[in-house]
């Protein structure tokens, strides 16, 4: 792994985006003071996770953002990216290149990315942990870092050694294990306290549970006896219920028959309505279609008119073009006559000129021949002897040259064959690379399409997930609100139930009687309860019945007068106050008088209070006694009206609680008083219903929240999967682009080689052809020389005679040529004038011909347009005829639909009248049936109340209990009830929940014991893990210390050219807690601590220590920021030599002003500030510079 590059934008003085391309070896960064060199180190330190603004040479974190200059505005974001080469898989990511990015905005928001994927700072720190490139390792070594190592305490200096040993990960895990161990210890302490408290509670809870179980058995037997007695009362009610149901069923059958007939008529009515609706829709569609057809007809007729106008215009244009065509023909005829006259004149001049030129050509030819002949004869006289002398010599040279050319041609043919083979191989390689390139481009398209799909999916998920998170938060908030409502409602019900159990609002005497009964005291054993708890009242009548009862609601119910006497004696003896006792056997029910029966059918009359209240049959005399002559009315106005009309007057009560007494007093208004027993019972019933609904809503909300959380988690997993796939695809795209670039580079190099080889092949072919030509020329030359040798001798004889005759003929020919040339000049001038006139006529003729061609083209286009318009007109005429027919058919269809709609409307009216009569009959039967239903409901409510009471007291299986043969219990039921009540009284008060409490305590004790055991096992496991990690860390740190000490001693001797140095552990025998001391002895000095060395010696010792650490564990890259400042020139040379030695294993980026250090760099980056406050980079690769 090494650092491939650094990209900076907006960070301190690097406002524009710059990139440092880095490679293995040593990279130097130079520049004047204040140019921004150290800002590059700050950028690397920042992107690795530095959180201290002071360490970045600032006061606040936003100081790293470019703050502006005289010519530049401030920017809003700083961004730095490190590009790491991961081809050796040093990092646990499946990518060849890893990019780590950090951004910071002026708003204070920060972002981290790995390969453009958002991440946490912790992810980056864990990624670089134990690689030596983390923020705490040797990735960045500045002059301040050297001084920090030298001045640090021995314990702090040990941390540098730990980073080299690679135990930082183990130390982090050990810290986490320690934290978990402390948490386990705290949990164990709390468990021990809880277990001790439970042990103290278990003993008393066991005793209470035994008494409660005894009480439960006695109560079960007592309930069974009371169940037998209660079942007798329900038999009579069942018989009455059966008779009412039979009457109700007969009425129900009649009503069902009428409903069937009504359904039939309603079905026919629906069919007619649907038919009417369809008819209306059809008529509407027909009207729309008819309107559309009429509009189309208007459009077609308009288009026909437009076509006729265009046809007329084309006819007028055709006449004009014919007139223009005649004019052009006449003008052309005139031009043709003028051209013929000029042609005749030109032809005459040409004939004369031709004759003269022929004469001149003949004269010149004759003159040239004579001159050539003269010169040739003179030359031949001089050459013949020389030629004869050289023929033999030239013939021998030609023969030798022919032999050499044959040998050269054979070698050239071999070279040509070799180059052609090379060219074929290059073409084959080119075809292979082109095939790979095409396949790669196809794959590139697939990857880009996949990337686009993945990016779209990722964008969709990133949009949906925040919405789902907001929805989940709203659901959780709603769930919390429901839980709070449930808690408040449960608390309210608990208060109400407790008030009912304590008989809150009852008199002292009544409460004393009821509490004595619950304790089983004999004096109150015959108490059945108070009036208000033995009746059931509909919710809307609660207020009215409470007011109607008044103080009688607290009257105590007993069966006989002796029981009433015992209760009164109990109150006297115990001095518990007073109470009213109602012996049921003595009560005479008060019935609503027959003379006042008419009032029950009056508007606003709810009914007689006794009839509106449900109770057990045994209690019914008391209900009739107290409420039998009280009338419940809807409101005060109707009550006052009835009070005036009723004679003798009766007691009236309204639903709001107003009371009209028989003798005239009216009581009403509103008072702030505590709720009565009935009101509390109603509130409890309503609260329990509301609680059940609330629990259902709560369960539904929980289920929805869980479902939404599951959906959100699925979406997050899908986002992570898509992000990973996107990163993988981008990596594939990057690798593919690199391969395609390599293919293209190879093809370019191949094309260059092919071009060079082609040029060489062409040159070789040309050379071969030239050799063939040269050989043929030599053969021809040899033949000519042999022939000429025989000719030369004969030519010498007549050469002189021919020369004299030739000179005389030449003088005569030259005189005749002078006369003819003068005549030729005159004819040439006349010919030029005629040529100008011919050219002018040709231009005029060409102009007229062009106009004729344009006219013909226009006429042809007009004829084509006229034909198209005529065809279009015929088509439109046919369309007009069809539309007229379609309109007629549409009008006829619309008329038919109107007739059908009228018939349907008439049928609908007849069915409506029949339905109205049927529903009137059904209403009468329904009213009668509802009355029977009311009677049935009242009786069923009474029975259901009895059953509910039995189920509440004896459970749902009370009927099965009665079916078992218990005749002895039926006979002895009254006596057994008294005996059991006495035993329960003797047992005293018990806690019914004691067995459940005891069982809960026992299970809780066992669970806590199991948790304690689990925690102890977990503590032992954590202690073992910590011990093993400490052993591993100590072993690894000791081995690292030994290796570093050996290398430190050797490097110290190399840098100081002698001396000794060592590392010693101080302060503790435990290597993980001991300090690290550096002992150095430069040449010629005694061993001493670092503090006693000079500044240069300290710096050189620190350099030796740093390089020793790098030798034991090479860092992927190391940045030295002016660490050579305190070194002299000789030591700078040694430092540079170490850089070159270690550069094969570690990549170095060095910021320095020293020439010796810069000379060791492979690449130099210069940091300049050409613009005030803005840094720029300039790079030079040193091996490319001239020596």
Percent of the chain with pLDDT over 70: 84
1179 is in an annotated binding site: no
Check pLDDT > 80 for residue 124. yes
Check pLDDT > 80 for residue 1109. yes
Look at residue 1025 and tell me if it is in a domain: no
Look at residue 583 and tell me if it is in a domain: yes
Look at residue 58 and tell me if it is in a domain: yes
Average pLDDT over residues 474-500: 72
36 is in an annotated binding site: yes
* Domain-ending residue, one of 652, 668, 684: 668
pLDDT range class, residue 101, cuts 50, 70, 90: very high
Average pLDDT over residues 63-91: 88
pLDDT tens digit string along 297-351? 788 777 778 877 877 777 777 777 677 767 767 766 776 777 677 677 767 767 7
35 is in an annotated binding site: yes
33 is in an annotated binding site: yes
Check pLDDT > 90 for residue 79. yes
DSSP 177-201: HHHHHHHHHHHHHHHHHHHHHHHHH
Residue 390 is predicted with a pLDDT of 61
- What the block records as the tokens of 265 is 């008529």
State the distance between the two ends of the chain, measured CA to CA, in whole angstroms. Answer: 32
1156 is in an annotated binding site: no
Check pLDDT > 70 for residue 867. yes
pLDDT tens digit string along 177-233? 788 788 778 777 877 777 877 777 777 777 778 878 888 887 777 777 777 777 766
Check pLDDT > 60 for residue 635. yes
Look at residue 961 and tell me if it is in a domain: no
Calpha distance 802→814 (Å, rounded): 19
Residue 380 is predicted with a pLDDT of 62
pLDDT tens digit string along 577-605? 788 888 888 787 777 777 677 777 788 88
* Domain-ending residue, one of 636, 668, 700: 668
pLDDT range class, residue 673, cuts 50, 70, 90: very low
pLDDT range class, residue 865, cuts 50, 70, 90: confident
Alpha carbon distances (Å) from 852 to 321, 335, 856: 10, 14, 6
- For 635, list phi and psi in degrees, rounded to 5: -145, 175
The residue ranking higher by pLDDT, 97 or 429, is: 97
pLDDT tens digit string along 358-380? 777 777 777 777 777 777 766 66
Q: On the CB side of 827, how many CA atoms lie within 13 Å of its CA?
A: 18
Which residues are within 8 A (CB) of 1008 and not within 5 positions of it... i.e. 6 or more apart? Answer: 191, 194, 195, 198
Q: Which residue, 1115, 1032, 1024, 1025, is CA-closest to 167?
A: 1032
Mean model confidence pLDDT for the chain: 77
34 is in an annotated binding site: yes
In SS3 terms, 6-53 reads as EEEECECCECCCEEEECCCCEEEEECCCCCCHHHHHHHHHHHCCCCCC
pLDDT range class, residue 81, cuts 50, 70, 90: very high
Residue 393 is predicted with a pLDDT of 55
Average pLDDT over residues 936-944: 69
pLDDT tens digit string along 1038-1066? 888 888 888 888 888 888 888 888 888 88
Look at residue 821 and tell me if it is in a domain: no
pLDDT range class, residue 456, cuts 50, 70, 90: confident
Residue 396 is predicted with a pLDDT of 57
CATH number at residue 48: 3.40.50.300
Average pLDDT over residues 1028-1032: 82
DSSP label at 618? G
Domains held by the chain: number: 2
Look at residue 9 and tell me if it is in a domain: yes
Look at residue 28 and tell me if it is in a domain: yes
pLDDT tens digit string along 137-164? 667 887 767 777 777 787 777 777 777 7
Residue 1185 is predicted with a pLDDT of 40
Q: In what order do the strands lie in the sheet with 1117-1121?
A: 140-142, 1117-1121, 1147-1151, 26-30, 1163-1171, 1174-1181
688-695: long-range pairs with CB below 8 Å, 24+: 688/493, 690/489, 691/486, 691/489, 691/490, 691/493, 694/482, 694/485, 694/486, 694/489, 695/486
* Domain-ending residue, one of 628, 645, 668: 668
pLDDT range class, residue 54, cuts 50, 70, 90: confident
pLDDT range class, residue 491, cuts 50, 70, 90: low
- The C-alpha angle with vertex 1053 and arms to 1050 and 1056, in degrees rounded to 5, equals 145
Calpha distance 293→9 (Å, rounded): 70
Average pLDDT over residues 288-299: 79
Domain that holds residue 633: 523-668
Q: Check: CB of residue 212 under 8 Å from CB of residue 992.
A: yes
Look at residue 649 and tell me if it is in a domain: yes
Residue 1183 is predicted with a pLDDT of 47
Q: Check: CB of residue 164 under 8 Å from CB of residue 1113.
A: yes
The residue ranking higher by pLDDT, 698 or 328, is: 698
Number of other residues whose CB lies within 10 A of the CB of residue 701: 18
CATH number at residue 555: 3.30.70.1620
Query: Worst-scoring range by mean pLDDT, 59-63, 469-473, 529-533?
Result: 469-473
Residue 1186 is predicted with a pLDDT of 40
| Burial bucket for residue 674 (CB in 10 Å: 0-12, 13-18, 19+) | exposed
Calpha distance 213→995 (Å, rounded): 7
Which residues are within 8 A (CB) of 327 and not within 5 positions of it... i.e. 6 or more apart? Answer: none
Check pLDDT > 90 for residue 100. yes
H or E element: which one contains 1178?
A: strand 1174-1181
pLDDT tens digit string along 1143-1180? 888 888 998 888 888 888 888 888 888 788 888 887 65
Check pLDDT > 70 for residue 937. no
Percent of the chain with pLDDT over 90: 2
- The C-alpha angle with vertex 16 and arms to 10 and 22, in degrees rounded to 5, equals 95
């Amino acid at each position: 792994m090494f650092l491939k590059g650094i990209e900076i934008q907006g960070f301190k003085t690097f406002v524009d985006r710059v990139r440092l391309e880095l490679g293995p070896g040593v990279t130097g960064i130079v520049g004047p003071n204040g140019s921004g060199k150290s800002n590059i180190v700050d950028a690397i330190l920042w992107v690795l996770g530095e959180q201290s603004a002071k360490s970045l040479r600032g006061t606040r974190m936003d100081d790293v953002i470019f703050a502006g200059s005289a010519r530049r505005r401030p920017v809003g974001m700083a961004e730095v990216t490190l590009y790491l080469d991961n081809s050796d898989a040093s990092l646990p990511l499946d990518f060849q290149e890893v990019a780590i990015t950090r951004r910071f905005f002026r708003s204070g928001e920060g972002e981290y990315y790995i390969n453009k994927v958002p991440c946490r700072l912790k992810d980056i720190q864990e990624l670089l942990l134990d690689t030596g490139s983390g923020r705490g390792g040797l990735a960045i070594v500045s002059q301040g870092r050297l001084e920090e190592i030298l001045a640090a305490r021995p314990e702090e200096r040990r941390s540098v050694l730990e980073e080299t040993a690679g135990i930082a990960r183990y130390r982090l895990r050990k810290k986490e294990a320690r934290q978990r161990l402390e948490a386990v210890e705290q949990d164990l302490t709390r468990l021990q306290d809880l277990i001790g408290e439970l042990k103290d509670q278990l003993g008393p809870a066991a005793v209470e549970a035994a008494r409660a179980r005894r009480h439960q058995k006695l109560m079960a037997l007592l309930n069974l006896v009371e169940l037998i007695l209660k079942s007798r009362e329900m038999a009579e009610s069942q018989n009455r219920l059966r008779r009412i149901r039979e009457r109700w069923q007969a009425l129900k059958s009649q009503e069902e028959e009428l409903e069937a007939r009504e359904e039939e008529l309603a079905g026919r009515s629906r069919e007619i309505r649907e038919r009417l609706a369809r008819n209306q829709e059809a008529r509407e569609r027909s009207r729309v279609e008819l309107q559309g057809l009429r509009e189309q007809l208007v459009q077609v007729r308009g288009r026909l008119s437009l076509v006729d106008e265009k046809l007329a215009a084309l006819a007028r244009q055709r006449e004009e073009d014919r007139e223009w065509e005649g004019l052009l023909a006449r003008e052309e005829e005139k031009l043709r006559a003028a051209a013929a006259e000029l042609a005749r004149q030109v032809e005459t001049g040409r004939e004369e000129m031709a004759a003269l030129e022929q004469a001149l050509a003949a004269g010149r030819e004759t003159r040239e021949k004579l001159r050539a002949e003269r010169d040739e004869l003179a030359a031949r006289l001089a050459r013949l002897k020389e030629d004869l002398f050289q023929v033999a010599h030239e013939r021998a040279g030609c023969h030798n040259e022919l032999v050499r050319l044959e040998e050269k041609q054979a070698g050239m043919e071999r070279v040509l064959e070799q180059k052609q083979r090379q060219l074929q191989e290059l073409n084959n390689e080119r075809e292979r690379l082109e095939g790979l390139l095409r396949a790669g481009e196809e794959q590139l398209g697939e990857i880009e399409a996949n990337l686009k799909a993945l990016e779209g999916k990722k964008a969709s998920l990133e949009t949906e997930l925040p919405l789902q998170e907001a929805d989940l938060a709203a659901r959780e908030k709603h769930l919390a609100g429901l839980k709070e409502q449930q808690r408040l409602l449960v608390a309210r019900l608990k208060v109400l139930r407790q008030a009912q159990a304590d008989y809150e609002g009852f008199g002292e005497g009544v409460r004393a009687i009821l509490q004595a009964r619950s304790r089983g005291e004999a004096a109150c054993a015959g108490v059945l309860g108070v009036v208000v708890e033995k009746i059931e009242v509909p919710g809307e009548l609660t207020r009215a019945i409470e007011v109607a009862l008044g103080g009688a609601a607290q009257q105590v119910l007993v069966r006989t007068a002796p029981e009433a006497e015992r209760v009164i004696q109990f109150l006297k003896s115990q001095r518990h106050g007073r109470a009213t006792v109602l012996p049921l056997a003595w009560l005479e029910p008060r019935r609503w008088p027959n003379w006042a029966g008419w009032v029950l059918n009056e508007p606003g009359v709810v009914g007689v209070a006794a009839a509106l209240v449900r109770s057990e049959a045994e209690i019914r005399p008391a209900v009739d006694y107290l409420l039998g002559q009280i009338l419940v009315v809807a409101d005060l106005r109707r009550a006052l009206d009835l009070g005036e009309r009723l004679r003798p007057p009766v007691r009236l009560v309204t639903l709001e609680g107003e009371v009209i007494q028989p003798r005239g007093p009216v009581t009403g208004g509103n008072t702030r008083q505590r709720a009565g027993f009935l009101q509390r019972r109603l509130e409890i019933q309503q609260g329990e219903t509301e609680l059940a609904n609330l629990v259902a809503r709560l369960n539904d909300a929980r289920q929805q929240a869980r479902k939404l959380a599951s959906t959100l988690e699925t979406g997050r997993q899908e986002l992570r999967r898509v992000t990973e796939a996107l990163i993988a695809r981008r990596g594939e795209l990057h690798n593919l682009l690199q391969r395609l670039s390599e293919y293209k580079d190879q093809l370019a190099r191949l094309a260059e080689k092919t071009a060079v080889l082609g040029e060489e092949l062409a040159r070789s072919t040309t050379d071969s052809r030239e050799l063939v030509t040269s050989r043929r020329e030599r053969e021809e030359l040899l033949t000519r020389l042999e022939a000429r040798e025989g000719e030369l001798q004969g030519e010498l004889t007549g050469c002189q005679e021919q020369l004299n005759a030739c000179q005389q003929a030449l003088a005569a020919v030259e005189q005749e040529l002078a006369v003819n040339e003068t005549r030729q000049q005159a004819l040439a001038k006349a010919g030029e004038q005629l040529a100008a006139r011919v050219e002018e006529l040709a231009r005029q003729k060409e102009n007229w011909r062009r106009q004729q061609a344009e006219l013909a083209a226009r006429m042809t286009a007009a004829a084509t347009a006229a034909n198209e318009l005529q065809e279009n007109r015929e088509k439109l005429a046919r369309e007009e005829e069809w539309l007229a027919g379609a309109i007629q058919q549409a009008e006829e269809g619309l008329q038919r639909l109107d007739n059908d709609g009228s018939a349907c409307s008439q049928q609908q009216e007849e069915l409506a009248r029949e339905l109205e009569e049927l529903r009137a009959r059904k209403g009468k039967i329904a009213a009668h049936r509802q009355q029977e239903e009311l009677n049935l409901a009242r009786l069923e409510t009474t029975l259901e109340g009895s059953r509910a009471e039995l189920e509440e007291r004896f459970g749902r299986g009370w009927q099965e209990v009665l079916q078992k043969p218990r005749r002895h219990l039926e006979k002895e039921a009254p006596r057994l009830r008294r005996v059991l009540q006495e035993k329960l009284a003797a047992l005293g008060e018990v806690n019914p929940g004691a067995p459940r409490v005891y069982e809960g305590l026992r299970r809780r004790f066992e669970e806590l014991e199991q948790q304690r055991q689990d925690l102890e096992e977990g503590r032992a496991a954590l202690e073992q893990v910590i011990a093993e990690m400490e052993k591993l860390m100590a072993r690894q740190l000791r081995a690292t210390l030994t290796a570093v000490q050996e290398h430190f001693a050797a490097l110290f001797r190399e840098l100081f050219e002698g001396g000794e140095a060592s590392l010693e552990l101080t302060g503790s025998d435990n290597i993980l807690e001991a300090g690290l001391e550096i002992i150095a002895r430069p040449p010629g000095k005694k061993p001493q601590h670092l503090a006693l060395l000079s500044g240069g010696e300290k710096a050189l010792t620190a350099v030796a220590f740093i390089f020793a650490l790098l030798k034991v564990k090479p860092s992927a890259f190391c940045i030295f920021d002016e660490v050579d400042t305190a070194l002299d020139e000789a030591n700078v040379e040694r430092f540079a030599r170490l850089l070159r030695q270690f550069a094969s294993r570690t990549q170095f980026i060095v910021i320095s002003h020293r020439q010796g250090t810069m000379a060791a760099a492979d690449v130099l980056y210069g940091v300049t500030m050409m613009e005030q406050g803005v840094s720029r980079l300039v790079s030079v690769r040193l091996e490319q510079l001239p020596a």
